[in-house]
């Protein structure tokens, strides 16, 4: 009997065991947090950034109040995604080419696509969904992605670009992309005088981690602000250097104030000529964007009314022209930045031709 434990001893042992279990649980949580636990607060910040830019574009294109707001953000749950995004739905694939790696997928219910497309065509938003609406959704997201990547590049301090978007019907039972090893967000689309809709966004783990790293507290916002200080003709710092090198051959002592064109490969800038180039860069020039041209008869012009469509002599998706002094200096894609239209440069004429166009 002497080997038996008293009740007090048993109570002490049980209490000690509870303390060990609690310590083990806390240790497990610490290891998990120090391991590969995702920072969904940072990912929520990333989606809020996307919502801000996308909502501004939608409101601007539709010319009415519209917004996107994140309802939730978590590890992907295919069943929750299926139950939240109404079927049938369309998937917009956004493939990043620089700055980020991977693709982001946006699921939009067909009924909301119909509303967006109909309003874009100056309708009342009551049209039924049809195949033509797919093209309208693609055009809308082209503008959204343009605004988003431009702002995102400024946010993270580096250029971000996306490739050609893909819009297709989406089947939740046979998805065109993996609904695993990813995170998701549910977004609420609100359009004035129309019923709210729920959109789904799927982000693979690698891209999700990159967004989390860029939107952690205290991260982002570096390096992008300098772009507003670049030359008034929309040229980057490297391109301004090209312009300066060409302009360095101009003589400031010609009779009548004329300019003499320099040959590329001339010697570098001297102190005096560099100052003259600095003065040249402050000169304001007329800059315009030419979307396209066409000819209309007087009868056709008199028949124009709200809703009329005029076809231009330019293919859909073809870059528009950036004109300086009525001469083409660059081509670019139409984007929306802070609710204003702009273009993203995709090609430039040579530095010599650019200088000629400034005269």
Both 187 and 266 in one domain: the answer is: no
Last residue of a domain, one of 214, 243, 277: 214
Please state the rounded mean pLDDT for residues 297-318. Answer: 80
Confidence of residue 65 (pLDDT cuts 50, 70, 90): very high
Which range of residues forms the domain containing residue 136? 40-214
CATH number of the domain within which 344 lies:
2.30.330.10
**Residue 301 is assigned to a structural domain of this protein:** yes
Q: What's the confidence (pLDDT) of residue 121?
A: 84
Tell whether 311 is covered by a domain: yes
How do 161-162 and 89-98 pair as beta strands?
antiparallel
What was the pLDDT predicted at 217? Answer: 61
Q: Is 253 helix (H, G, I), strand (E, B) or coil?
A: coil
> Would you state the pLDDT for residue 355?
59
249 inside domain: yes
Is 296 within the bounds of a domain? Answer: yes
pTM of the predicted model as reported, rounded to 2 decimal places: 0.54
**Is 47 among the domain residues?**
yes
Residue 141 has pLDDT above 90, yes or no: yes
Q: What does each C-alpha distance from 64 to 56, 134, 176, 225, 351 come to in angstroms?
A: 10, 21, 33, 30, 42
- Shared-domain flag, residues 68 and 201: yes
Same domain, 209 and 279: no
What is the reported pLDDT for 352?
60
Note whether 263 and 351 are same-domain residues: yes
pLDDT score for 6: 61
Q: Is residue 117 part of a domain?
A: yes
Helix (H) or strand (E) run with residue 289 in it: strand 287-290
pLDDT of the residue at 284 = 76
pLDDT at 36: 58
Q: Which of 214, 246, 266 is the last residue of a domain?
A: 214
Say whether both 208 and 234 belong to one domain.
Answer: no
164, 76: one domain: yes
Of the two residues 148 and 72, the one the predictor is more confident about is 148
- Higher pLDDT: 354 or 110? It is 110
* Contact present, 183 and 207 (Cβ < 8 Å): no
Q: For 8-40, write each residue's pLDDT tens digit.
A: 665 665 555 444 433 332 232 322 333 457 788
The pLDDT tens digits for 259-292 are 333 344 444 444 555 555 566 666 777 888 887 7
User: What average pLDDT does range 64-92 have in this prediction?
Assistant: 92
Mean pLDDT, range 133-147, rounded to an integer: 92
Report the percent of the chain where pLDDT is more than 70: 68
25, 163, 220 from 95: Cα distances, Å: 41, 5, 21
Residue 94 inside a domain? The answer is yes
Name the token pair of 240: 């301004």
How confident is the model over 169-203, as pLDDT tens digits?
999 988 888 888 999 999 999 999 999 999 999 99
User: Structural domain tally of the chain?
Assistant: 2
Same domain, 191 and 62: yes
- Considering all CA atoms of the chain, what is the largest pairwise distance in Å, rounded to the nearest integer? 122
In this prediction, residues 308-335 reach a mean pLDDT of 80
**202 and 62 in a common domain:** yes
Residues 196 and 104 in one domain: yes
pLDDT for res 274: 54
CA dihedral 5, 7, 11, 14 (to 10 degrees): 50
Contact 264, 246 (CB under 8 A): yes
Q: Is the pLDDT of residue 344 over 90?
A: no
Tell me, yes or no, whether 186 and 244 share the same domain.
Answer: no
Q: Which stretch of DSSP H or E encloses residue 185? A: strand 182-191
DSSP helix, strand, coil percent of the chain (3-state; round to 5): 40, 25, 35
Question: In this predicted structure, what is the pLDDT of residue 340?
Answer: 79
Given this model, what pLDDT does residue 302 score? 86
Both 201 and 276 in one domain: the answer is no
Residue bearing the bigger pLDDT, 31 or 223: 223
pLDDT at 117: 92
Within this chain, do residues 179 and 327 fall inside the same structural domain, yes or no?
A: no
348 versus 104: the higher-pLDDT residue is 104
- The chain-wide mean pLDDT, for the chain, equals 75
Tokens of 296: 């209309």
Is the per-residue pLDDT at 73 higher than 60?
yes
């Amino acid at each position: 009997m002497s080997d038996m434990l008293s009740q007090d001893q048993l109570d002490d042992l049980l209490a000690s065991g509870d303390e060990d279990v609690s310590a083990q649980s806390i240790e497990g949580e610490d290891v998990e947090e120090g391991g590969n636990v995702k920072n969904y607060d940072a990912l929520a910040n990333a989606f809020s950034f996307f919502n801000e830019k996308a909502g501004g574009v939608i409101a601007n294109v539709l010319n009415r109040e519209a917004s996107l707001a994140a309802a939730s953000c978590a590890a992907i749950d295919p069943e929750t995604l299926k139950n939240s995004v109404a079927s049938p739905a369309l998937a917009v694939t956004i493939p990043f080419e620089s700055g980020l790696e991977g693709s982001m997928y946006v699921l939009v219910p067909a009924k909301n696509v119909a509303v967006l497309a109909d309003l874009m065509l100056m309708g009342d938003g009551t049209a039924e969904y049809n195949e033509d609406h797919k093209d309208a959704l693609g055009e809308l997201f082209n503008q959204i992605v343009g605004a988003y990547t431009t702002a995102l590049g400024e946010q993270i301090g580096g250029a971000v670009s996306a490739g050609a978007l893909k819009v297709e019907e989406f089947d939740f039972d046979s998805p065109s992309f993996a609904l695993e090893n990813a995170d998701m967000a549910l977004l609420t689309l609100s359009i004035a005088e129309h019923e709210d809709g729920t959109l789904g966004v799927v982000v693979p783990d690698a891209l999700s981690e990159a967004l989390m790293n860029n939107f952690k507290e205290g991260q982002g916002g570096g390096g992008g602000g300098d772009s507003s200080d670049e030359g008034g003709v929309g040229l980057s710092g490297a391109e301004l250097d090209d312009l300066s090198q060409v302009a360095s051959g101009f003589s400031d002592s010609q009779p009548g104030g004329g300019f003499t064109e320099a040959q590329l490969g001339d010697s570098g800038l001297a102190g005096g000529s560099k100052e003259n180039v600095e003065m040249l860069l402050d000169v304001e020039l007329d800059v315009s964007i030419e979307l396209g041209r066409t000819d209309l008869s007087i009868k056709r012009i008199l028949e124009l009314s709200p809703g009329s469509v005029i076809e231009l002599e330019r293919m859909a998706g073809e870059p528009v022209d950036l004109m300086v002094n009525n001469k083409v200096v660059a081509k670019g894609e139409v984007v929306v930045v802070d609710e204003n239209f702009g273009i993203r440069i995709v090609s430039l004429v040579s530095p010599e031709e650019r200088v000629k166009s400034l005269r």
